[in-house]
A = this chain, B = another copy of it.
Amino acid sequence: MHSENNNVNVLHITMKKSALQKARASYQPKLPIALAGAVKVVEGHATQSVADQEAIKALFPNTYGLPEIRFEKNPTATPGKPVNVGVILSGGQAPGGHNVICGLFDGIKKIHKESRLFGFLMGPQGLVEHRYIELTAPIIDEYRNTGGFDIIGSGRTKLEKKDQFDKGLEILRELNISALVIIGGDDSNTNAAILAEYYKSIGAGIQVIGCPKTIDGDLKNDVIETSFGFDTATKVYSEVIGNIQRDCNSAKKYWHFIKLMGRSASHIALECALQCQPNVCLISEEIEAKNMSLDDIVAYIADIVASRAADGNNFGTVLIPEGLIEFIPEFKRLISELNELLGANKDKVAGMDNAQLTEFIMTNLSADNVAALKKLPESVARQLMLDRDPHGNVQVSLIETEKLLSGLVAARLEATPSFAACGGKFSSLHHFFGYEGRCADPSNFDADYCYSLGFNASALINAGVTGYMSSIRNLVKPAVQWIPGGIPITMMMNIERRNAEDKPVIQKALVRLDGAPFQKFASQRDDWAHNTCYIYPGPIQYFGPAEVCDQPSMTLKYEHRH
C-alpha cells in the first residue's frame, strides 16, 4: 500500500473513527449541474496576463494566451479512455484537500473505470524522489469529507528546477501518468505553470493542472472567486472567537488579544470580524495605506479601551492578523534592513553567538532602525534579531504581536491617570489560532467546492489542456448553479521581485480597501468598538437547516453580492 522508497510513513491502516466521521462519510458532495453528466468545452477569448504581458509571454511561449474555458452539459456523451493521473498536495494544510482528491478520483473513474490515480507522498518532494502510493477506492472511501492532508501528506519543497522536473518525468513515465494535478497556493500554482510550460516545451505529453488551495484566502482574482479551505478555517476560528467573546461578555473583566493565521493578507481576520463583530480588528493593508506607526496603532486600541472603560466595560476583543508587523512601515523598514544586512553578511554572522550578533546588528543598522528596535519590549527585539528562518529571514510568524500590542496598550493606559481615575482596568489574555482550523472537517461549502474542483480537474484532463487552474465560479449560488471551467494560470501572473530576481508569479490578493468586505467592516467598526455587538457563530454544523450548514463566507457573499 505504500511505496518501497519511503522514509515517512503514510500507512493506510483503518483509522478508529469518531461518531461524526462515521456519519459524515456518507455525505455526497453537491456538484455543479454542468458536471453531473457528460460535458462539452466552451472556449472563451484568448487571455493575457494581468500585467507584464510581454515578459510573461516570453517565459511561457507554449502556454501563454490560451483561452478561458467553461464546461457545459453535453447531451451526447462520447466514451472516454483510461487515464493515469498523479496528484500532489503542496504547502500548508487546508480543509477539503481530501475531497479534491476524492472528486478527481471519481471524475477520472467516470471517464473510464480503468483510470488510475497515484498520490505522491509528502508534497512535491514525493514526485522528485519517486515516493507514491496508488489511491484505490478503499483508500479514497476512508477520506471522503474529512479534514487534513494525511491521505498522502504534504510538503513545502518548491518545484522550480529543471532537474526536479526531469526526475519527476521519470516516475510519471514509469507509471504511465499523463496528467499531474497540483493542489497548492499561489507559489505552488506558479510552479505548476512553469512545469506545464516545461513539459509542453519538451513534448513530454504530461498535462499539469492546478487547484487553488489556501486558508489564507489570498489566491483569488477576477476569475478565481476563492481558494478552498478559507471557508472552513475561518468558521473554526469564528467559533472559538465567538466563544471567547461570550466569555468576555460574561466575566466582563478581560481584554482578549487574538492573533489569527493568514500570512501577509488580512482576509482571515476580516472574515472573522464580519462573523463575530469584535471590538477591534486590525487590517494590515489599511495600516500600511494609512502609514500608521506602532504608536498610532497602540493609541487607536488604547482609546477604544478607555472609551469602553468610561462606560463601565473593562473588557473587549481585539483581532490581529498574523502578518501585521510587516505592514507597519517602521517595522517593514527594520525587517527589510535586518534581512539585507544579515543576508549580505551570511558567512560573517554564521559563527557569532547571540551577544556578538546583537552587537553586530546594533553597530551596523541605520540609526532610525536602531531606535525602532530600542522602542520594542526586549523579548520582541530579541525575536527580530535572533530567531531567523533557514534563509536568514526574520520569522515574522513567531513574533508574538498579540503580547507586544497588549503590553504597549497597558503601558500607555498606565501613563494616562484619567484612565484608572474613572474606574478603568486593563487585564489582557492572549490567543493565537491557526493550526486549529487548517485540518478541520470541511464545511459543506468546502466539501462541495473541493469535490467540484477535483471532479472538474478530471474534465480539464479529459479536455486535453495544460497549464490551467481548475475553476468553479458563481459560488454564492447553490452548488448546482456553480460554473465549472479552467483558467490559464499565466493569466493570473505578473513579474515580481523575489530574492533579488525578477520572477513570474501569480499576484497575491491582499485585502482591497475599496472592496465590499472591508467597506462593510469599516462602516460598522465604530459601533462594534464602543458598544458590545458580539455575534456567536458556534461550531460548523453538517446536518442542520441549510441556512446554518450551507452558507459561504461573508467575504464571498459581499464580494459577489451583485
Q: Are B242 and A236 in contact (CB under 8 A)?
A: no
Q: Are A19 and B150 in contact (CB under 8 A)?
A: no
Q: Any chain B CB within 8 A of the CB of A216?
A: no
Instruction: Encode contact with B along A284-314: 1 for CB under 8 Å, 0 otherwise.
Output: 0000000000000000000000000001110
Q: Are A250 and B150 in contact (CB under 8 A)?
A: yes
A contact patch SS: loop
Q: Any chain B CB within 8 A of the CB of A540?
A: yes
Residues of chain B with a CB closer than 8 A to A437's CB: 243
Q: Which 10 pairs of residues, A with B, have the shortest CB-CB distance?
A: A539-B539, A543-B544, A246-B439, A148-B246, A149-B250, A20-B538, A247-B439, A240-B436, A18-B537, A543-B543
Q: Are A247 and B438 in contact (CB under 8 A)?
A: yes
Name which of A236, A536, A545 has the most chain B CB atoms within 10 A of its CB: A536
Residues of chain B with a CB closer than 8 A to A92's CB: 251
Given A8-B252, A429-B435, A436-B243, A535-B17 contact (CB < 8 Å):
yes
Q: In which size bucket is the chain A interface? A: 35 or more
Q: Are B439 and A146 in contact (CB under 8 A)?
A: no
Residues of chain B with a CB closer than 8 A to A537's CB: 18-20
Q: Are A247 and B23 in contact (CB under 8 A)?
A: no
Residues of chain B with a CB closer than 8 A to A429's CB: 435
Residues of chain B with a CB closer than 8 A to A93's CB: 246-247, 250-251
Complex CA–CA separation, A149 to B544 (angstroms): 26
Among residues of B, the one whose C-beta sits closest to the C-beta of A440 is: B243
Can you list 11 A-B contacts with CB-CB less than 8 angstroms, sorted by A residue number?
Answer: A18-B242, A20-B541, A20-B544, A23-B544, A93-B247, A150-B246, A150-B250, A236-B240, A243-B435, A440-B538, A541-B541
Q: Are A18 and B438 in contact (CB under 8 A)?
A: no
Instruction: Encode contact with B along A1-18: 1 for CB under 8 Å, 0 otherwise.
Output: 000000111000001111
A257 to chain B minimum Cβ distance, whole angstroms, is 12
Q: Are A539 and B536 in contact (CB under 8 A)?
A: no
Q: Any chain B CB within 8 A of the CB of A147?
A: yes
Name which of A153, A312, A429, A548 has the most chain B CB atoms within 10 A of its CB: A548
Q: Are B247 and A9 in contact (CB under 8 A)?
A: no
Given A435-B256, A535-B18, A545-B23 contact (CB < 8 Å):
yes
Within 448-483 of A, Cβ neighbours of B (below 8 Å) are at none
Q: Any chain B CB within 8 A of the CB of A112?
A: no
Residues of chain B with a CB closer than 8 A to A256's CB: 435
Residues of chain B with a CB closer than 8 A to A249's CB: 148, 150
Q: Are B551 and A19 in contact (CB under 8 A)?
A: yes
Q: Any chain B CB within 8 A of the CB of A21?
A: yes
Q: Any chain B CB within 8 A of the CB of A385?
A: no
A465 to chain B minimum Cβ distance, whole angstroms, is 30
Residues of chain B with a CB closer than 8 A to A252's CB: 8, 122, 153
Instruction: Encode contact with B along A153-178: 1 for CB under 8 Å, 0 otherwise.
Output: 11000000000000000000000000
Q: Any chain B CB within 8 A of the CB of A431?
A: yes
Complex CA–CA separation, A280 to B150 (angstroms): 20
Q: Any chain B CB within 8 A of the CB of A239?
A: yes
Complex CA–CA separation, A148 to B547 (angstroms): 23
Q: Are A7 and B246 in contact (CB under 8 A)?
A: no
Among residues of B, the one whose C-beta sits closest to the C-beta of A242 is: B18
Residues of chain B with a CB closer than 8 A to A423's CB: 7
Q: Are B148 and A16 in contact (CB under 8 A)?
A: no
Q: Are B16 and A247 in contact (CB under 8 A)?
A: no
Complex CA–CA separation, A264 to B183 (angstroms): 45
Given A148-B249, A150-B250, A250-B148, A239-B439 contact (CB < 8 Å):
no
A262 to chain B minimum Cβ distance, whole angstroms, is 16
Residues of chain B with a CB closer than 8 A to A147's CB: 243, 246, 536
